[in-house]
Copies of this chain bind each other. A is one copy, B any other.
């Protein structure tokens, strides 16, 4: 039977065999929620990059560019790290270069996988439905925060495990813990997440609206996948 497992931070990815697995990268606040939103609103492709410098280079080549470091947007970029900044006519059909603190690293580290896909609560059911049809194991890779596990990514991992529990074997404790955590919290995700270290950081920057948005389930039928160095819609 196919297996689903969860890796709580990219620091622990080396413990997982991913060469026969689809890796679902998640960075709920807010990189992967932004990406899914972008594709839902017509963006054609997204180039994840590791550094601000690379992002600046791509911007100078004519791409739109989005950046975030420590929860804030550096000067001179076209988009900030709010999913609402992706809801803009001018990005329809365009390519956006994106760098984020944790999400890009998780994507880069996953390249050995059969497929690298992008997960968020916004496209949870689309993703679950697709993965059910595939023959591969699934590893949910939480981007975390500076190498540490975080609440919101773990909750997403648990949500996906929960949706796939009849189709996949849950063999490792991290997946069990994530599922249990999600099942216990799902009726008040916002209240639960409100205490997380990341949301406390975000609150300081005044963006409650993004948080509520990123916790909405099943808004978009979007399946972002890594092709070469770009994310595209499947």
Contact = CB atoms under 8 A, between A and B. Distances in A.
B172 A181 contact: no
A185 B179 CA distance: 13
Nearest to A6: B149
A197 B180 contact: no
A121 interface: no
Contacts of A145: 173
A32 interface: no
Interface string A182-206: 0011000000100111100000000
A59 to B, nearest CB: 32
B147 A173 contact: no
Chain A interface secondary structure, helix, strand, loop or mixed?
A: helix
Given A11-B12, A184-B184, A195 B177 contact: no
A11 B174 CA distance: 15
B149 A173 contact: yes
A99 interface: no
Nearest to A198: B173
Given A9-B12, A11-B11, A192-B180, A173 B150 contact: yes
Given A8-B8, A172-B197, A176-B197, 13 more contacts: A12-B148, A15-B147, A15-B148, A149-B173, A150-B173, A151-B173, A151-B177, A154-B177, A177-B177, A177-B181, A180-B184, A180-B192, A181-B181
